[in-house]
Amino acid sequence: MVLHFLVMGRVQGVGFRWFVQREATELELRGWVRNTEEGDVEIVAAGHPEDLAELRASLKRGPRGSRVDRLIEHTLEEKEARNLDSFRIEGAW
């Protein structure tokens, strides 16, 4: 299963991408997380439905200092996961 998430709220400058990477890696998900120019955080994650449900719960909670106002979720086609490997942060220095 492959899911695309968009997290809105106070989610940049609070360690949100590192939080997502840690949670996703512990769940052995494949994919990536990145900031958007609009101030949101975007995630694509592939894995077992139960693990993706755990990630969803973590995204709603967020790390300390964050505030999640809205979580938008879309299911992607399985072919979207073909080139995904270990979970990574995109655009991080």
Let me know: does 18 contact 71? Beta carbons within 8 Å: no
By C-alpha distance, which of 50, 78, 54, 58 is closest to 7?
58
Q: Is 35 marked active-site?
A: yes
DSSP 8-state class, residue 61: H
Of the residues 10, 30, 34, 35, only one is catalytic, namely 35
The arithmetic mean of pLDDT across residues 48-75, rounded, is 98
Does any domain span residue 78? yes
pLDDT in tens, 62-74: 999 999 999 999 9
> What is the average pLDDT score of the chain?
96
Counting the structural domains of the chain, the total is: 1
Helix (H) or strand (E) holding 70: strand 67-76
Structure tokens at 64: 């300390």
Does any domain span residue 39? yes
Of the residues 17, 64, 70, 83, only one is catalytic, namely 17
- pLDDT for the residue 5: 98
Structure tokens at 76: 């992607």
Could you tell me the residue range of the domain that residue 66 belongs to? Answer: 33-93
Does any domain span residue 89? yes
Q: Is 17 marked active-site?
A: yes
- Residue recorded with tokens 């990145």: 34
Does any domain span residue 13? no
